[in-house]
Amino acid sequence: MDTITVNGPEGILDWDAIDWRTHEQNVVRLRRRIFKATREQDWATVRSLQKMMLRSWSNTLVSVRQVTQRNTGRRTAGIDGEVALTSQARAEAAVHVHRTRASWDPLPVRRVHIPKANGKLRPLGIPVIMDRCHQARVRQALEPEWEARFEPRSYGFRPGRSCADAIETLFATLRGPRANRVWILDADLSAAFDNIDHERLLDALGGFPARDLIARWLKAGVVEGEMFTPTDEGSPQGGVISPLLMNVALHGLEEAAGVRYRMTGVTAGRAREGTPVLVRYADDLVVCCYSEQEAYRVKQRLAEWLEPRGLVFNEDKTKVVHAGEGFDFLGFSVRRYSNGKLLIKPSRDAVKRIRKRLTDETRRMRGSSVRELTSRLNPIIRG
């Protein structure tokens, strides 16, 4: 095949004939090298490898494939109305992305609103397909650096981590009669994606080679209907790179809460005695403390840390409770009984939501075959 060279395609790119395994291995290998260099704090090597990733033809192909072929939002267009749903369109997009990798000028995002669990609307910003491809390409270079730096109990929007891992950490912290971090700060950040301070975030990125491109994404603005609104703060939900930027902005939250870890011995990685345990999933977090007073002190420290970053607690959803009273986190109800038994089960609201969704889907599929119905319901049931 004459379409793959070191610097990109030559001639016509045959999308269906691409050796995806080779390109994915190239990207994985380079991500591992960035991760390893970051752990060794060899910053010159980190920046050099990140530049290599940003120039990589393999990275471009893998990123375009992820955005246009694998992501569930591949059929959703930005303000230009363009999508890439055929092999030819994807091949053309990959060539265009690679040729504009050093000169791309971001376009504004398209504002749409989707319903939240509480009945309110969540604003999403849908970038054009080219911006999504470039964001995926940049994320491949930025993510391994920060995966080597992120705090241990951050679970949201990270590769190889899930809600179940966050719940497992809570289980290990609260179970048994000897558990003593039983006062809970159950906190939620108010419109976190919309209020991130741009300057603080860009300072955190340091000398990342695509930092200027990220700054232009942050400032690209929003189009709702026919009205353009500039963006002076926040990172719009819906962008490929936005969840990673959220985690970068919130890096340091554990340290601000006073969490300290054992560094040596068989207990390395465990929180030290006398310090709280903070579990975070995106902008939802729980801090397990020794006393009610400590929980309120932690809340105050976190509020002071969040303020210069443009973030505040949602006071309606933030509270201090004893584990015996129970609390909800990530769709689960967590409660510790007086005998030390810990019960974690789906929350009432989560059960209501899944039942309503199944009911709505079943009604909508009336007249369909059993096979079609089960193919729609099984992914919902699996969650």
The verdict on 284 and 217 lying in the same domain is: no
What is the DSSP-derived secondary structure letter of residue 265?
Answer: S
The verdict on 266 and 302 lying in the same domain is: yes
State how far Cα 136 lies from the chain centre: 13
Domain of residue 358 covers 350-382
Residue 4 lies in a domain: no
The answer to whether residues 147 and 158 touch, using CB atoms and an 8 Å cutoff, is: yes
The verdict on 133 and 265 lying in the same domain is: no
200's tokens: 């603080």
- Mean pLDDT, the chain, rounded, equals 92
Q: Averaged over 131-141, what is the pLDDT?
A: 98
| pLDDT surpasses 50 at 3 | no
Closest to 7 in 3D by CA, of 141, 99, 118: 99
The rounded distance, in Å, linking the Cα atoms of 234 and 381 is 34
Residue 366 lies in a domain: yes
pLDDT class of 7 with cuts at 50, 70, 90: low
Could you read off the pLDDT of 307-330 as tens digits, one per residue? 999 999 999 999 999 999 999 999
Which string of b and e fits 216-232 if b means at least 16 CB within 10 Å?
ebbebbbbeeeeeeebe
Predicted local confidence at residue 116, as pLDDT: 72
Residue 15 lies in a domain: no
Could you read off the pLDDT of 266-278 as tens digits, one per residue? 888 899 999 999 9
Closest to 10 in 3D by CA, of 85, 99, 138, 100: 99
Predicted local confidence at residue 8, as pLDDT: 60
The verdict on 32 and 94 lying in the same domain is: yes
Could you read off the pLDDT of 154-208 as tens digits, one per residue? 999 999 999 999 999 999 999 988 899 999 999 999 888 889 999 999 999 999 9
Residue 2 lies in a domain: no
Q: Averaged over 103-131, what is the pLDDT?
A: 87
Residue 7 lies in a domain: no
- Report the sign of the C-alpha dihedral through residues 143, 144, 147, 150, in that order: negative
Q: How many CB atoms lie within 10 A of CB 100?
A: 13
Q: Averaged over 363-381, what is the pLDDT?
A: 89
The verdict on 181 and 104 lying in the same domain is: no
The verdict on 138 and 176 lying in the same domain is: no
Residue 298 lies in a domain: yes
The rounded distance, in Å, linking the Cα atoms of 314 and 359 is 32
> First and final CA of the chain: distance in angstroms?
41
Predicted local confidence at residue 78, as pLDDT: 94
The rounded distance, in Å, linking the Cα atoms of 66 and 310 is 32
The answer to whether residues 232 and 160 touch, using CB atoms and an 8 Å cutoff, is: no
Q: Which residue has the tokens 């490898």?
A: 49
The verdict on 74 and 213 lying in the same domain is: yes
The verdict on 205 and 187 lying in the same domain is: no
State how far Cα 266 lies from the chain centre: 31
Predicted local confidence at residue 119, as pLDDT: 66
The verdict on 214 and 83 lying in the same domain is: yes
Predicted local confidence at residue 4, as pLDDT: 40
Could you read off the pLDDT of 78-88 as tens digits, one per residue? 999 999 999 99
pLDDT class of 265 with cuts at 50, 70, 90: confident
Residue 5 lies in a domain: no
| pLDDT surpasses 90 at 29 | yes
The answer to whether residues 303 and 209 touch, using CB atoms and an 8 Å cutoff, is: no
The verdict on 271 and 171 lying in the same domain is: yes
| pLDDT surpasses 80 at 5 | no
The verdict on 186 and 202 lying in the same domain is: no
Output the domain CATH number for residue 288: 3.30.70
Q: Indicate the number of domains in the chain.
A: 3
Predicted local confidence at residue 89, as pLDDT: 96
The verdict on 101 and 209 lying in the same domain is: yes
3-state DSSP assignment of residue 121: strand
| pLDDT surpasses 80 at 120 | no
Q: Which residues, including other chains, have CB under 8 Å from residue 117's CB and lie 6 or more apart?
A: 349, 353
Residue 205 lies in a domain: yes
